[in-house]
Chain A
Amino acid sequence: MLTERLARVRAAIAGFVYGLTGYEFARHALEMRHEMETVFMVVTMGDLVGVPVLPPIYSLRLLPYVVPEVATWKRHVARPREFWDKDEYDLHGL
């Protein structure tokens, strides 16, 4: 009982410290990956945004790799956003 409680407290503290320190790097790495994915998607899957950029043969060959990401990717790029969205998380401490 006590061991379980201690483990929970330790996990909570570990999570808090991770949130204070490494989490922002993880988030930023994700953002960078999504930016590259967006470029990749637009170049290879132009049809998704109504712009046939490359011959469909490439799209078809890449499609199996892209399908799992399409839903979340579309949500990310199609969302209306504030102009400061990109910088907001960096404005610490005011």
Chain B
Amino acid sequence: MNTLLAVIIGAVTVYLAYTLYARRIDRHVIQSDPKRATPATLYMDGVDFMPTNRNILFGYHFKSIAAAGPIVGAIVAASLWGWLPAIIWLVLGVSFIGWASDYSAIVISVRNEGNSLSAIAHRLVSPRARTILFIFIFFYLLLVAGAFVGIMATVLESQPRTQLGVIVLTVMGLLLGQMLYRWRMGLVGATVLTVGVTMLAILGGAWTEEIFKSLNTGLNNLAGGAPIVTYFDPTLANFKGADAKIMPSLLFWALAICAFCYAGSVLPIWRMAQPVVYVGFWLTATAMVLGLVGAAAASFVKPEVAQFVIPAFKGFNPQLGPAGIMPLWPMLFVTIACGAISGWHALFGAVGTARQIENEADMLPVGGGSMLTEFLLGLLALLAVSVGAKGAPVGAFATGLGGFISVWGVPIQYATSLAFAAFIVIVLVVTQLLFRVQRVTLSEWLGDVIPPVRNQHVASLVSIALAILLVLTGTWVYLWQLFGGANQLMAALSLLLVTVWLSSVGKNWLYAGLPAVFMYVTTLASLLVTAYNIYVNVYQPNMAAGRVIPVIGSGLMVLVALLLVAAAVIIGIDGWRAFQRYRHRPVQQPRPAAVRV
């Protein structure tokens, strides 16, 4: 297998899924009508409801859904099961489920006056469905924040070459916000300056490598070279498990990330979160575009970086830890999350994008098209890790992506630096946003019962502390799989809602119903498997060794998994009842649609 063939497979998948399946569903099942007025045109308020050109909305929606999720999932899955199962699930998942989930979420919102999924669930399924969706959001955020902080701290601490770039990125993000919103400078000039400086800092990271290495050494010497926390990590020693040690330098970088996230969470959005994301976007987009085209061209220009070097298939049940199980079904289907299907896309696509759809004919290119394009991002991550094969999964990804970028004549060490930085930046900028939404969720959920969490500083600190507690279990792979389970389960619930809605309006519900059942069963099974794995691989060994913090962290993870299962069972029962109710009811004729003039 080589990268050119994989890129061709990806392009053919996108073409076939869009033209043969998605368009058919759009025409014959949804029957999108360009003459029907959309909520954006009916309720235009100049802010949220705003008719927007489809090309602009495509770019906006794609940027909103594409970042760290599809990259991390593909990296982990390829390292556990090999590249073949990963690529098969990416292709089949996005073709039959992924685009349908994103597209349908926009459709159901557009056809329901721009209401959010939770509001529609409240009306169509049951009042408690909305509350349960709310619980999902909170724990989803907690899990993904824990997974991202864990991986970020490890990568940053072990890659002193990238640390200057991250610091400069933060400064340039703050500067960009000031330039745009306070000094009223033009976007193009401000972009060139801030992105250019950050790029130079990333490429020049090698010059400051020794300084940051000295800093790490100095921090570790403060504690006499002794670890702060020791825990049993089942992912070490080639997945056989070993004791891991948290050194002061790792804690320092974890706290630095938390400080960054705290600032992103509490400062006005224009001051930090938005401009940092924007600068980070240019860096990662540059690396990804160069990488994707480089992957296609590598077979001709630089064949040595185009050949897959990891095994195609590593077995149905690879070992991860001394005990526990990691069966291909259901675990692969939650490990590769956003590149194939994501519930988060549906949840927020229904609120943000659906209210800007100008024309019903735009729903498919914007919703389905963006998801199919995101699949290419997941595919690129899979290719990079498949040709990289050097060191840990993230290192292999950076080596592989660096190889693709080097096709353009960039020296390999700079290309790898850029690839590493792209990964770190894409995860880092998402993490600060996670904490931002998590503190809003926490305030909303517990604000009435525990008034102090209404304070944004308290809510942010509580969110960060909970994530750190999860990180201290030391097993971010399990955290990632729990996140994947919550995320895919949310996708199943959104498809379930779409199925109920299609049934309520007398349309063929199979294109959403079958994927909903598959994802529902798969994700419930994956949550139970992950809870079992955490218990036998993390909780028990650390309990036996009398380590309090890892025991609390892993115990919390097991509880979260079981809570998500219970919530999903309840909403599944409610959804089934609603489905049966609408199926056996005479179809109500919809109100005549408003027609645009």
Q: Which A positions have Cβ atoms within 8 angstroms of B?
A: 11-25, 27-32, 34, 72-73, 75-76, 79-80, 82-94
Contacts and interface: CB of A to CB of B under 8 A. Distances in A.
A27 B56 CA distance: 12
B455 interface: no
A84 B352 CA distance: 11
Nearest to A30: B47
B47 A76 contact: yes
A18 B46 CA distance: 18
Interface stretch (B30-38, B62-70, B551-559): B62-70
Contacts of B59: 15-21, 23
Contacts, number: 151
Contacts of B344: 91, 94
Interface of B: 43-50, 53-69, 116, 118-119, 137, 144, 180-181, 187, 191, 269-270, 273-274, 277-278, 281, 285, 338, 342, 344-345, 348, 351-352, 426, 429-430, 433-434, 436-437, 440-441, 444, 487
Nearest to B284: A93
A30 B57 contact: no
Nearest to A18: B56
20 contacts: A13-B55, A18-B59, A23-B59, A24-B274, A25-B274, A28-B274, A29-B181, A32-B181, A32-B270, A82-B351, A87-B440, A90-B436, A90-B437, A92-B64, A92-B67, A92-B429, A93-B67, A93-B338, A94-B69, A94-B338
B440 A83 contact: yes
Nearest to A80: B119
Contacts of B53: 15
A29 B58 CA distance: 20
Contacts of B430: 92-94
B437 A72 contact: no
B353 to A, nearest CB: 9
A93 B144 CA distance: 12
A25 B188 CA distance: 12
Nearest to A23: B60
A23 B45 contact: no
A76 B66 CA distance: 29
Contacts of A94: 65, 67-69, 144, 338, 342, 344-345, 430, 487
Given A34-B46, A72-B45, A93 B437 contact: no
A89 B56 CA distance: 15
B266 to A, nearest CB: 12
A3 B278 CA distance: 33
B494 to A, nearest CB: 14
Given A15-B53, A16-B56, A82-B119, A92 B63 contact: yes
Given A20-B281, A32-B270, A83 B444 contact: yes
A93 B65 contact: yes
Contacts of A29: 181
Nearest to A77: B45
Max chain B C-beta neighbours (<10 A), residue from A73, A83, A92: A92
A34 B433 CA distance: 23
Contacts of A12: 55
Contacts of A87: 269, 433, 436-437, 440
A37 B508 CA distance: 45
A17 to B, nearest CB: 6
Contacts of B180: 25
A85 B119 CA distance: 13
A5 to B, nearest CB: 15
A81 B277 CA distance: 25
A24 B441 CA distance: 23
Contacts of A11: 55
Nearest to B63: A20
Given A11-B55, A16-B59, A83-B441, A91 B278 contact: no
B408 to A, nearest CB: 20
Contact of B352 (A20, A75, A89): A89
A19 B46 contact: no
Nearest to B130: A82
